[in-house]
Chains A and B, each alone.
Chain A
Amino acid sequence: MSPAGWGLALVQTLLFLLGAPLLAGWVKRVKSRLQNRRGPSLLQPYQDLGKLFAKEALMAHSASPLFRAAPYIVFGSTLVAVSIIPLLAVSLPTAAVADVIVLVGFLALARFFLALAGMDVGTAFGGMGASREMLVSALAEPAMLMAVFTLAMSAQSTNLSSVVQFNLDAGLALRPSFMFALMGLVLVAIAETGRIPVDNPATHLELTMIHEAMILEYSGRHLALMEWAAQLKLMLYGVLISVVFLPWGIATRMTPSALALAFGVLILKLMVLWLVLAVTETGLAKMRLFRAPQYLNLAFLLTLLGLFSHVMLEAGT
């Protein structure tokens, strides 16, 4: 692949890095508006991150080196995962190197270290959060992989670029398998990124939190990295869903005009997607934790139905 391709991959990753806090601010603002509040400014997440980076990072006495290393590992692997996703252009050198299963693997690596860090200090909340996170992710991952397999069987490749290219070439086609995979993937994305109804990102109420419970002991730059990684992960799922299921507008050639168009369309798609997210979050209440397995069973069932309908209805005999 040409150096221009690698340059584009770098630019895309930077866009992810800079865009993720903005999207977090956008969803917060829309939610506040829906609740009749004025809400923080769109740039508030940047200010928060800046403040946290400037502050001293405190460590618990019982913390091991793993606790210190975990934020960098979590942030790093999320960043690598993000660089695989075609954001502006289809043909990416990074997407050629790693496929969707590697993407799921990087996310699992980040989650593993997040849970380890949660348990490392030995507080009750950290362990509780880690065990809950593992419960949710152990049930969400099969559903996610099943959705990935459905896509891969249609496109006959697990490579994200080829999947997107396949969808672009197919044009408008009504595929029952993609419909189910989309529904399942949305449910998985909500569970994995810790949004309502599985986890509430805005709460510090001890008994209900999952993600916040694990990062409770972090401060300063470590906390900033953890939060940034969470925002990146949210954006990753949003972009993944919009790029795979609604690929129209993404640049197939490396011309400036095509890239500019892709950028505009991308912003539009993400804004609409996050608007939907904010509206559903305002309308729904958080579930009891014990209902989360049911919710994820539904996601698994939907993706399984996607696979079935691909085999039964779509695959040529």
Chain B
Amino acid sequence: MNLTQLPLLEQAVFVIAALALMASFALLAQTRLTASIHSFAWQGASVALVTALVASINGIHHLYLSALLTLALKSLVIPWMLHRLVRRLEMEQQVESITHPALVVLTGAALVIFAYWVALPIERLEMAGTRNIIAVSLSIVLLGLWMMIARHQVVAQVLGFMSMENGLFLAAVASTRGMPLVVELGVAFDVLVAAVLFGVFFFHIHESIESLDVDRLNRLTEQEQQP
């Protein structure tokens, strides 16, 4: 199957899915907090757009609703909540230092190759026109996981966790034409509740160690805290 033989709308699905993958890499490499929250919002918006396009290609009406839900939650409400938290903790200017930025990104690239290799047998099932996206969504999941490992900042780790959820949602939409609406609603509110809980945790961590750098939690004594 060649890309150019597909209708333009399905090509647009591929382009936007690729943009979601790019947003994952932007999240991985971005050291400024506000900018990474913006990248997360863009990823949410592109996943919502993919959902809407799949809905219009296949004429599935309940997918429009989940697209709208994704857009509202993942690209507006959760980024807004995170923004407010960051502003309240006065960390807008903070730049996290990644020790080996190039290495982190190249490992991400290796993960994409791994995801493609894993997804190859799935793609051979010839399920639907959008099956190629499974590899992309699997790599978004792996990149989110890698982000939680590689970064020390709590906010960055939470963003990695939420982008994993974006990847799962993308896989569900692209391969099975979306989950039942009840499941989607449940997952969406799960994510929302998680975001609220994470906010509470941010405050607690910030109060107890005066930083959001999780590596500091490894130190047991307070003597080490130098100015």
Contact = CB atoms under 8 A, between A and B. Distances in A.
Interface of A: 170-177, 179-180, 293-294, 297-298, 301-302, 304-305, 308-309, 311-314, 316-317
Given A176-B17, A317-B124, 12 more contacts: A173-B11, A174-B11, A175-B11, A179-B18, A297-B29, A297-B105, A308-B21, A308-B112, A312-B116, A313-B14, A313-B132, A317-B123
Contacts, number: 72
A174 B109 contact: no
B146 interface: no
The CB with the most chain B CB atoms within 10 A, among A170, A312, A317, is that of: A312
Interface of A is mostly: helix
A147 B17 CA distance: 20
A308 B124 contact: no
What 7 A-B pairs have minimum CB-CB distances, sorted nearest first? A176-B18, A174-B11, A314-B3, A309-B18, A313-B14, A173-B4, A176-B15
Interface in B17-52: 17-19, 21-22, 25, 29
Contacts of B14: 174, 176, 309, 313-314
Q: What range describes how many residues of B lie at the interface? A: 20 to 34
B12 interface: yes
B170 interface: no
Q: Among A176, A179, A311, which residue has the most Cβ atoms of chain B within 10 A?
A: A176
A297 B4 contact: no
Contacts of A294: 101
B132 A308 contact: no
B183 interface: no
A312 B136 contact: yes
Q: Chain B contact residues: over half helix, strand or loop, or mixed?
A: helix
B171 to A, nearest CB: 13
Nearest to A310: B3
Interface in B116-163: 116, 123-124, 132-133, 135-136
B25 A301 contact: yes
A167 B89 CA distance: 51
B8 interface: yes
Nearest to B135: A312
Contacts of A175: 3, 11, 15
Contacts of B25: 301, 305
Interface in B188-220: none
B105 A313 contact: no
B8 A312 contact: no
Q: Which of A170, A172, A174 has the largest number of chain B CB atoms within 10 A?
A: A174
Contacts of A180: 18, 22
Interface in B74-105: 101-102, 105
A298 B116 CA distance: 22
Contact of A304 (B2, B4, B109, B116): B109
14 contacts: A173-B3, A173-B4, A174-B11, A174-B12, A174-B15, A177-B18, A298-B29, A301-B105, A305-B25, A308-B116, A309-B21, A312-B112, A313-B132, A313-B136
B182 interface: no
A298 B30 CA distance: 11
A298 to B, nearest CB: 8
A294 B29 CA distance: 10
Contacts of B116: 308, 311-312
Contact of A172 (B8, B21, B112): B8
A313 B18 contact: yes
A308 B133 CA distance: 12
A268 B95 CA distance: 42
Contacts of A316: 1-3
Contacts of A173: 3-4, 11
Given A174-B12, A174-B14, A297 B123 contact: no
A194 B102 CA distance: 23
Given A294-B101, A313-B133, A305 B2 contact: no
A174 B21 CA distance: 16
Contacts of B135: 312
Residue with the highest number of chain B CB atoms closer than 10 Å, among A173, A305, A313, A317:
A313
Interface centre among B8, B14, B133 (most CB of A within 10 A): B14
A171 B8 CA distance: 11
Contacts of B109: 301, 304, 308
A316 B5 CA distance: 11
B17 A313 contact: yes
Contacts of A312: 112, 116, 132, 135-136
A311 B113 CA distance: 10
A297 B31 CA distance: 15
A308 B38 CA distance: 24
A174 B10 CA distance: 9
